[in-house]
Amino acid sequence: MRELLPLTVEMSMYGGFEQVGPIGREIVSNDEQTKTEPGDIVLYSGDQIVIFYGNNSWAYTRLGHVELTQAEMTELLGHGDITITISADAEK
């Protein structure tokens, strides 16, 4: 996925617990049945990024986690559609 960065994604609220958005192409995935929690970032169906502000259980490929509380994640993500940009640290 690093070759796609920086990546800007238009995301939409879904289900009252997540934001989901297309990344524009399918990438290699390793979906496993997963229980998510607020802050989890996953790949869904090989071509969508999902960021959770609530809990869910489904088959995803884990990508990362945002270290914020559920209240903080809900404040950031729970009030309508958003646009995010994902980038990598140049030193890593």
Q: Looking at residue 70, what is its pLDDT?
A: 96
Q: Which two tokens stand for residue 49?
A: 């990024």
Type of residue found at 79: H
Q: Looking at residue 89, what is its pLDDT?
A: 74
The rounded distance, in Å, linking the Cα atoms of 66 and 88 is 14
Model confidence over 15-27: pLDDT tens digits? 999 999 999 999 9
Q: How confident is the model at residue 91 (pLDDT cuts 50, 70, 90)?
A: low
The rounded distance, in Å, linking the Cα atoms of 49 and 46 is 9
Least confident among 17-26, 65-74, 82-91 = 82-91
Q: Which two tokens stand for residue 44?
A: 């869904």
| Nearest residue to 77 (alpha-carbon basis) of 26, 5, 9 | 9
Q: Looking at residue 90, what is its pLDDT?
A: 61
Mean pLDDT of 65-69: 96
Q: Looking at residue 62, what is its pLDDT?
A: 97
Query: Do residues 82 and 74 lie in contact, with contact meaning Cβ atoms separated by under 8 Å?
Result: no
- pTM for the complete prediction? 0.90
Q: Looking at residue 16, what is its pLDDT?
A: 95
